[in-house]
A and B are shown apart, each in its own frame.
Chain A
Amino acid sequence: MMTTLTRQDLNFGQVVADILCEFLEVAIHLILYVREVYPSGIFQKRKKYNVPVQMSCHPELNQYIQDTLHCVKPLIEKNEAEKVVVVIMDKEHHPVERFVFEISQPPLLSISSETLLSHVEQLLRAVILKISVCDAVLENNPPGCTFTVLVHTREAATRNMEKVQVIKDFPWIVADEQEVHMTEPRLIPLKTMTSDIVKMQLYVEERAQKAS
Chain B
Amino acid sequence: MDDLYLDNIDEFVSDQNKIVTYKWLSLTLGVHVNTAKQMLYHYLEQKRKETSGTRLHATYLVSGKFVENGTMCHKVSVVREDKLEDVKSKMDVTISVHVYSIQKAELKDSGPLYSTDYDAVKENLKNCNKYTAIRCASAVPRSSSEMHRAQEMAQVTVAENAASKPELTNHVTSNPTAKQPKGIMGMFANKSTSKSQESSKEVKTEQKDDAFAVNTSKSKPSAMGKAMSNFFGKTSGKKVTSDQPDKPVKEEGGGAEGMSPSQCSTKSEPDTKDEPPKESPKAVTKEVKDVKNSKTKRLEQSDSEDERMESQKKKRRRIKKPHPDSSDEECEVVPESPPVPEVNTPSPDRPMKTESVSHLEESSECRKRKRRRVLKSHTFLDDEGCIVTEKRYESESYSESEDDSKASSQRVKDTTALQPTRRKREEEKKPTEKNQKKAPASTDKTTKQASIKGFFLKK
State the A residues within 8 Å of B (CB).
Answer: 10-12, 14-15, 18-19, 22, 33-34, 37-54, 57-61, 63-67, 70, 73-74, 78, 113-118, 121-122, 125-126, 128-130, 132-137, 145-148, 160, 164, 166-170
Say yes or no: B352 contacts A52, CB within 8 Å: no
Tell me the minimal C-beta distance from A140 to chain B in angstroms: 11
Q: Which residues of chain B come closer than 8 Å to A19, judged between CB atoms?
A: 312, 315
Question: Can you list 19 pairs linking A and B with CB atoms under 8 Å apart?
Answer: A42-B188, A43-B330, A44-B322, A44-B327, A54-B111, A57-B188, A58-B188, A59-B188, A78-B456, A115-B302, A117-B312, A125-B118, A129-B116, A133-B107, A135-B106, A136-B104, A137-B17, A160-B455, A167-B354
Q: Which residues of chain B come closer than 8 Å to A22, judged between CB atoms?
A: 315-316, 319
Is B253 an interface residue when CB atoms closer than 8 A count as contact? no
Q: Which 10 A-B pairs give the minimum distances between C-beta atoms?
A: A60-B348, A146-B345, A136-B105, A41-B334, A52-B111, A136-B104, A39-B337, A41-B184, A133-B105, A40-B330
Bound complex: CA of A95 vs CA of B452, how far in Å? 33
Q: Which residues of chain A come closer than 8 Å to B116, judged between CB atoms?
A: 129
Q: Which residues of chain A come closer than 8 Å to B106, judged between CB atoms?
A: 135-136
Q: Which residues of chain B come closer than 8 Å to A135, judged between CB atoms?
A: 105-106
Bound complex: CA of A133 vs CA of B113, how far in Å? 10
Tell me the minimal C-beta distance from B334 to chain A in angstroms: 4
**Closest partner residue, chain A, to B344 (CB atom):** A60
Q: Which residues of chain A come closer than 8 Å to B224, judged between CB atoms?
A: none
Interface of B is mostly: helix
Q: Which residues of chain A come closer than 8 Å to B299, judged between CB atoms?
A: 118
Among A18, A42, A66, A67, which residue has its beta carbon within 8 angstroms of that of B316?
A18
Tell me the minimal C-beta distance from A91 to chain B in angstroms: 10
Given contacts A133-B19, A133-B103, A164-B452, contact A45 B111 (CB under 8 A): yes
Say yes or no: B115 contacts A15, CB within 8 Å: no
Say yes or no: A44 contacts B325, CB within 8 Å: yes
Say yes or no: A47 contacts B184, CB within 8 Å: no
Which residues between 88 and 132 of chain B lie within 8 Å of chain A, taking CB atoms? 103-112, 114-116, 118-119
**Closest partner residue, chain B, to A89 (CB atom):** B345
Q: Which residues of chain A come closer than 8 Å to B348, judged between CB atoms?
A: 58, 60-61, 63-64
Is B157 an interface residue when CB atoms closer than 8 A count as contact? no
Bound complex: CA of A114 vs CA of B346, how far in Å? 40
Say yes or no: A61 contacts B308, CB within 8 Å: no
Say yes or no: B115 contacts A12, CB within 8 Å: no
Is B343 an interface residue when CB atoms closer than 8 A count as contact? yes
Given contacts A33-B108, A136-B17, A170-B353, contact A40 B334 (CB under 8 A): yes
**Closest partner residue, chain B, to A46 (CB atom):** B322
**Closest partner residue, chain B, to A21 (CB atom):** B441
Among A37, A121, A169, which residue has its beta carbon within 8 angstroms of that of B350?
A169
Bound complex: CA of A176 vs CA of B336, how far in Å? 32
Say yes or no: A39 contacts B334, CB within 8 Å: yes
Q: Which residues of chain B come closer than 8 Å to A73, judged between CB atoms?
A: 445
Say yes or no: B118 contacts A51, CB within 8 Å: yes
Tell me the minimal C-beta distance from B15 to chain A in angstroms: 11
Given A70-B353, A113-B308, 12 further pairs, Cβ under 8 A = A12-B308, A39-B343, A41-B327, A46-B321, A52-B111, A58-B348, A113-B305, A114-B305, A133-B19, A137-B104, A147-B346, A167-B353
Among A39, A65, A67, which residue has its beta carbon within 8 angstroms of that of B184?
A39
Which residues between 285 and 307 of chain B lie within 8 Å of chain A, taking CB atoms? 294, 298-299, 302-303, 305
Tell me the minimal C-beta distance from B16 to chain A in angstroms: 10
Say yes or no: A52 contacts B312, CB within 8 Å: no
Among B235, B352, B354, which residue has its beta carbon within 8 angstroms of that of A45?
B235
Among B115, B118, B327, B442, which residue has its beta carbon within 8 angstroms of that of A18?
B442
**Closest partner residue, chain A, to B449 (CB atom):** A74
Bound complex: CA of A52 vs CA of B323, how far in Å? 10
Say yes or no: A53 contacts B353, CB within 8 Å: no
| Residue of B104, B184, B320 ringed by the most chain A CB atoms within 10 A | B184
Q: Which residues of chain B come closer than 8 Å to A51, judged between CB atoms?
A: 111, 114-115, 118
Say yes or no: A39 contacts B333, CB within 8 Å: yes
Q: Which residues of chain A come closer than 8 Å to B235, judged between CB atoms?
A: 45
Say yes or no: B448 contacts A166, CB within 8 Å: yes
**Closest partner residue, chain B, to A135 (CB atom):** B105
**Closest partner residue, chain A, to B347 (CB atom):** A64
Interface code B346-376, partner A: CB below 8 Å = 1, 0 otherwise? Answer: 1111111110011001000000000000000
Say yes or no: A49 contacts B318, CB within 8 Å: yes
**Closest partner residue, chain A, to B19 (CB atom):** A133
Among B103, B118, B302, B349, which residue has its beta carbon within 8 angstroms of that of A114?
B302
Given contacts A47-B320, A50-B318, A129-B115, contact A42 B345 (CB under 8 A): no
Say yes or no: A47 contacts B449, CB within 8 Å: no
Say yes or no: A74 contacts B351, CB within 8 Å: no
Tell me the minimal C-beta distance from B339 to chain A in angstroms: 9
Bound complex: CA of A26 vs CA of B144, how far in Å? 36
Among B232, B346, B357, which residue has its beta carbon within 8 angstroms of that of A70?
B357
Is B34 an interface residue when CB atoms closer than 8 A count as contact? no
Say yes or no: B302 contacts A45, CB within 8 Å: no
Q: Which residues of chain A come closer than 8 Å to B452, judged between CB atoms?
A: 74, 160, 164
**Closest partner residue, chain A, to B192 (CB atom):** A57
Say yes or no: B112 contacts A132, CB within 8 Å: yes
**Closest partner residue, chain B, to A166 (CB atom):** B448
**Closest partner residue, chain B, to A121 (CB atom):** B315
Say yes or no: A122 contacts B345, CB within 8 Å: no
Say yes or no: A168 contacts B353, CB within 8 Å: yes
Is B69 an interface residue when CB atoms closer than 8 A count as contact? no
**Closest partner residue, chain B, to A60 (CB atom):** B348
Tell me the minimal C-beta distance from B303 to chain A in angstroms: 7
Among A38, A117, A122, A125, which residue has its beta carbon within 8 angstroms of that of B315?
A117
Which residues between 5 and 49 of chain B lie within 8 Å of chain A, taking CB atoms? 17-19
| Residue of A43, A114, A132, A164 ringed by the most chain B CB atoms within 10 A | A132
Bound complex: CA of A164 vs CA of B453, how far in Å? 12
Q: Which residues of chain A come closer than 8 Å to B305, judged between CB atoms?
A: 113-114
Say yes or no: A38 contacts B340, CB within 8 Å: yes
Is B168 an interface residue when CB atoms closer than 8 A count as contact? no
Q: Which residues of chain B come closer than 8 Å to A130, judged between CB atoms?
A: 17
